[in-house]
Amino acid sequence: MDAAAFSKAWLDDWNAHDLDAIVAHYAEKVVFRSPKVARYTGGKTDRLDGKGALRAYFAAGLAFRPDLHFSTPHACWDGTGLALIYKGEDGRTAVETMTLDADGRVAEARVFYDDEVA
């Protein structure tokens, strides 16, 4: 796995707001967890299952945050995945852990923030 190349492509795609390219990083049966998902689902769950659900969530996020930009990235990795640490344009720091499948796609992801997401 070339974690540095993956991280750069992932961040570049987000910063370009290229939904198709963003979603291409994820496996069909991806499991995605974030406290922002709980807000998106009205508190029903913090988890999304599958690429279709993730695509809809990311599309809503890009529409809600038209100035979205991630900066100051740092990646840590092992043989099966990585953790990306980055800042959003809102100043919030995020840590996103990703387990990659055999094809180098994100099979499972979880996002943590440096303050409470309301």
Domain locations in the chain as residue ranges: 3-113
Q: How high does pLDDT run on average in the chain?
A: 93
Q: Are 73 and 11 in contact (CB under 8 A)?
A: yes
Residue 92 CA: distances (Å) to CA of 81, 106, 109:
23, 23, 18
Q: Are 94 and 71 in contact (CB under 8 A)?
A: no
Q: What is the pLDDT of residue 72?
A: 79
- The tens digit of pLDDT for each residue in 68-95 reads 999 978 999 998 999 999 998 888 999 9
What fold does the segment set 3-113 form as a domain? Nuclear Transport Factor 2; Chain: A, (3.10.450)
Q: Are 23 and 30 in contact (CB under 8 A)?
A: no
Percentage of the chain beyond pLDDT 70 is 97
Q: Shortest CA distance to 94 belongs to which of 64, 67, 61, 71?
A: 71
Residue 65 has pLDDT above 80, yes or no: yes
pTM, rounded to two decimals: 0.92
Sign of CA dihedral 10, 60, 68, 31: negative
The secondary structure of 4-56, three-state, reads HHHHHHHHHHHHCCCHHHHHCCEEEEEEEECHHHHHHCCCCCCEEECHHHHHH
